[in-house]
A = this chain, B = another copy of it.
């Protein structure tokens, strides 16, 4: 908007130059100029975005967004916090669980996030953390990218507005996970971890298939219908049972899961539950190692 206004001032200036002297239009043009100047001031008072940070500094000053995180290194809890910037995490499903997991990783300064969802934001989603009423109508991936890049412009965000359970969606999902442009020398796939934050079995099976084919470590999550309990499962292809080998009881019994959903519940109903699944993603690790960093390494993600 500021660029547009600047060009308007230039236009008005050239009109003024081309006016015959004296002209009855001179005062009208001056009035327009002052209006544009006022609008420029208004546009400038809009919120200023945080600028990108080249290197993570450990300096303890209020203006350093990484000050508290880098303190983990000074305290001896993490060896090299800055390595988080080399990591890519794919989050499938940007709902109650996925959106908060994405925000937490963004604030931690993760290198790159890949976000997958086919849905749009609705007012009915406001019971959960993250999305805001003014984002209603936007795709969940676009709304998430907007919020996350405002919070931390250092994170590389890739949005995929699509359904991974369709043939074409699955192919795009696979090729996006394989893409190594962010870290060309990485072994295996192009991501370090896949978080499944979806609300149906079909999508979980798609994630399972993709990760098995790529030998990719992933985590599965789920929230109960009344949203006061949930589950987390760490899956390492070749080490743990695969997701299809240990299906939920309801799936193993051959019941169609869609018959079990009650109108308007759609899983993760309850606001105060949201944090816990995302929290559990880290707790899974943290309980063992008490640090995000060590635990990420422990979960099979090896760094050069």
Contacts and interface: CB of A to CB of B under 8 A. Distances in A.
A67 B279 contact: no
Contacts of A264: 58, 60, 67-68, 70-71, 74
A151 interface: yes
Contacts of A122: 62-63
Contacts of A125: 68
Interface in A66-105: 66-72, 74-75, 77, 100, 103-105
B68 A269 contact: yes
A251 interface: no
Contacts of A69: 127, 269-271
Contacts of A266: 68
A12 to B, nearest CB: 7
A279 B282 contact: no
A205 interface: no
A215 to B, nearest CB: 26
A124 interface: yes
Interface size grouping (class) on chain A: 35 or more
Interface string A115-145: 0000000111111110011100000000000
Interface of A: 1, 4-5, 7-8, 11-12, 14-15, 18-19, 24-25, 28-29, 31-32, 35-36, 38-39, 42-43, 47-50, 58, 60-72, 74-75, 77, 100, 103-105, 107-108, 122-129, 132-134, 150-152, 225-226, 228, 262-266, 269-276, 278-279, 281-283, 286, 290-292
25 contacts: A4-B38, A4-B42, A5-B39, A8-B32, A47-B134, A48-B134, A50-B126, A50-B134, A63-B122, A65-B124, A65-B127, A67-B264, A68-B265, A69-B269, A74-B262, A107-B126, A108-B272, A133-B151, A228-B291, A270-B292, A272-B282, A272-B286, A275-B278, A276-B276, A279-B279
